[in-house]
């Protein structure tokens, strides 16, 4: 060891942080020293640049992302307080742009009163150590779970108040969406009034469901009583497009389809109408059920088709007069529209 | 057109169609089930109502907390009834169920950000509590989640009401 030291006039100890120098010519060692000095200066510069960042990043509070991300709203999270950033930083391209559309940047970049909030994963920034020369666009690319918030001019830059503001804006966004959903509340502006309207609407919808279910429950077994009388009526009737008998016929048809097909009314209707597999045309019939009635549909040909299919079924003695039944006579139209 | 596969909440037509299909399916099943001998109107209407909610929740699936809550409530009706009679206290289901029914003991909302105030975020006294009672499965959510759930619940409920209205019209032609 001593011999080595004696040989090299420029020893390792002069250069901090360098333990790799062993031997060599004077010139090469000197060159290496100089290179190392330059490198260290650069490192120190970079360190001073990133010092502020590191403090911020290490003090991060990681918050869980908003679980209610359904409408594509970006996630907001609480951020840590911004440290005193040297003026170098502000000129630097490490500033992150916001993703929230509402918050416009009224801040002048060199204004010291504005602090930035950089909310980013530690790993990403550490890898950007060497990219001080690069534009930190890579940082903005993977916006995973955090959003970058910038304080507005003249507003509090406390992390809590910023987070509060973000949260309030999210709430107001969702209130606006609810305003579109709930009919008739365009004039109401306050949150309290909106909430009242929403509560009333939900309550009214639930009551409607209850009322309609009661109505449906009463309607369903009522068919039991009518079927006998209707059957008697239809036995002796010729299938004709007689308007007087239409209602009775349609009613009978519906009743029959609802009951005789083993409590599978929709399937029965579908089978009669299309005669194919049930799964596919079900949607058509159902959707046609909920379309409006289209008057003036020329469906004589369709009627014949349907009647023919009707005959092919088991219960073929039933006269088929689905005039008022909105579902069936639109099925053939739907078949064309396919 | 393909048969309905996954419900797309963006397209209201497909939601309506799937709701209608599912609701009719449930209604048909209702009539053929074992306990339908008692044809009192109240029980029947109650069953129809259950079918409506069940179909609504089924179409939405488990993407939403309210649908999960409804499904869990319906599927465990018998168990819940038994517990109600015996214990007067109902514990939460198995841990892997991310479901909280309305009658289940409330989990403390400390899982989310503890800084938030669940009792009074809007500054209004009883409204949020009322809303939580109305929307199923919303007891363990913060205000934002609650608004989300409410919006989705309103949308599905409105579609379900429309489907039922059309059905009633259909049936009442007779």
**pLDDT tens digits for A235-262?**
444 344 344 444 444 444 444 444 444 4
For testing contact with chain A, the best of B10, B39, B147 (most A CBs within 10 A): B147
**pLDDT per position as a tens digit, B110-137:** 444 444 444 445 566 678 888 888 888 8
Range of weakest confidence among A217-221, A272-276, A282-286:
A272-276
Of B17, B46, B160, the CB nearest to A283: B17
Which site among A79, A184, A259, A290 would you substitute to test the B interface, given the most B Cβ atoms closer than 10 Å to its Cβ? A290
Tokens 């940047």, located at residue: A105
> Within chain B, how many helices (H) and strands (E) appear?
6, 0
Task: Categorize the per-residue pLDDT at A145 as very low, low, confident or very high, splitting at 50, 70 and 90.
Answer: low
Picking from B88, B100, B56, B117, the residue whose alpha carbon sits closest to that of residue A171 is B117
Q: Provide the Cα torsion A89, A92, A98, A104; round to 10°.
A: 90
Alpha-helix runs per DSSP H in B76-142:
77-86, 127-134
Give contacts of B157 with chain A, Cβ < 8 Å. 202, 205-206, 209
The whole-number average pLDDT for the span B39-61 is: 81
Residue ranges in B99-142 assigned as alpha helix (H): 127-134
Average pLDDT over residues A305-316: 46
Q: Is A192 close to B167, i.e. CB distance below 8 A?
A: no
Beta carbons within 10 angstroms of residue B35's beta carbon: 8
* B158–A203 CB contact, under 8 Å: no
Whether the CB-CB separation of B37 and B174 falls below 8 Å is answered with: no
Give the closest-approach CA distance of A295 to chain B in angstroms. 17
Which pLDDT belongs to residue A49? 54
Are A206 and B171 an interchain contact pair (Cβ–Cβ within 8 Å)? no
The shortest CB-CB distance from A290 to any of B52, B153, B166 is to B166
Closest partner residue to B155 (CB to CB) among A64, A181, A265 is A181
Structure tokens that stand for B118 in this block: 């669940």
Q: What is the pLDDT of residues A16-74, one digit of tens each?
A: 444 444 444 555 666 666 666 676 666 666 555 555 444 444 444 444 444 444 444 44
Give the tens place of pLDDT for each residue, A217-240. Answer: 887 765 433 333 344 444 444 344
Chain B contact probe: residue of A65, A165, A195, A323 with most B CBs at under 10 A: A195
Q: Is the pLDDT of residue A204 over 90?
A: yes
Nearest beta carbon to residue A254 from set B39, B127, B174: B174
In angstroms, how far is CA B25 from the centroid of its own chain?
17
Comparing CA positions, the residue from A95, A223, A132, A285 lying closest to residue B1 is: A285
| Pairs across A and B, CB distance < 8 A | 175
Contact B146, B127 (CB under 8 A): no
Read off the pLDDT band of A293 (50, 70, 90): very low
Tens of pLDDT along B86-103? 765 544 444 444 444 444
């Amino acid at each position: 060891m001593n011999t080595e030291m004696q040989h090299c006039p420029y020893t390792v100890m002069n250069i901090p942080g360098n333990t790799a120098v062993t031997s060599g010519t004077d010139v090469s060692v000197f060159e290496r020293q100089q290179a190392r000095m330059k490198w260290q200066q650069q490192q120190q510069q970079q360190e001073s640049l990133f010092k502020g960042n590191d403090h911020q990043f290490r003090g991060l509070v990681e918050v869980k992302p908003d679980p209610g991300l359904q409408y594509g709203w970006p996630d907001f999270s609480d951020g840590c307080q911004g440290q005193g950033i040297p003026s170098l930083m502000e000129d630097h391209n490490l500033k992150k742009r916001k993703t929230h559309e509402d918050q416009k940047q009224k801040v002048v970049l060199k204004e010291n009163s504005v602090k930035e909030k950089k909310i980013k994963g530690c790993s990403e920034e550490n890898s950007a150590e060497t990219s001080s020369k690069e534009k930190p666009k890579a940082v903005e690319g993977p916006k995973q779970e955090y959003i970058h918030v910038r304080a507005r001019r003249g507003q509090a830059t406390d992390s809590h108040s910023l987070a509060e503001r973000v949260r309030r804006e999210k709430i107001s966004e969702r209130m606006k969406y609810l305003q579109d959903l709930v009919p008739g509340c365009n004039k109401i502006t306050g949150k309290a009034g909106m909430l009242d309207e929403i509560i009333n609407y939900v309550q009214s919808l639930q009551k409607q469901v209850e009322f309609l279910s009661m109505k449906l429950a009463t309607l369903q077994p009522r068919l039991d009583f009518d079927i006998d009388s209707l059957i008697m009526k239809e036995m002796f009737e010729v299938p004709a497009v007689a308007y007087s008998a239409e209602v009775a016929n349609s009613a009978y048809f519906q009743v029959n389809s609802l009951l005789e097909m083993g409590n599978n009314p929709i399937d029965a209707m579908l089978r009669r109408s299309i005669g194919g597999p049930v799964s596919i045309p079900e949607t058509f019939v159902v959707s046609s059920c909920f379309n409006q009635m289209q008057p003036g549909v020329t469906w004589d040909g369709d009627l014949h088709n349907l009647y023919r299919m009707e005959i092919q079924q088991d219960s073929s003695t039933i006269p088929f007069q689905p005039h008022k039944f909105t579902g069936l006579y639109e099925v053939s139209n739907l078949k064309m529209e396919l | 057109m393909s048969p309905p596969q996954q419900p797309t909440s963006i397209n209201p037509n497909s939601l309506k169609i799937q709701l209608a299909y599912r609701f009719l399916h449930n209604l048909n099943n209702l009539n053929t089930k074992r306990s339908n001998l008692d044809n009192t109107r109240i029980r029947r209407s109650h069953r129809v109502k259950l079918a409506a909610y069940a179909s609504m929740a089924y179409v939405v699936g488990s993407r939403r907390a309210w649908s999960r809550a409804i499904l869990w409530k319906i599927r465990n009706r018998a168990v819940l009834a038994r517990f109600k009679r015996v214990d007067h206290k109902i514990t939460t289901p198995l841990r892997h169920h991310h479901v909280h029914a309305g009658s289940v003991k409330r989990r403390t909302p400390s899982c989310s950000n503890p800084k938030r105030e669940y009792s009074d975020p809007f500054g209004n006294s009883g409204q949020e509590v009322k809303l939580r009672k109305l929307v199923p499965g919303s007891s363990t959510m913060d205000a934002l989640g609650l608004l989300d759930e409410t919006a989705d619940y309103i949308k599905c409920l409105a579609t379900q009401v429309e489907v039922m209205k059309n059905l009633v019209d259909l049936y009442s032609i007779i």
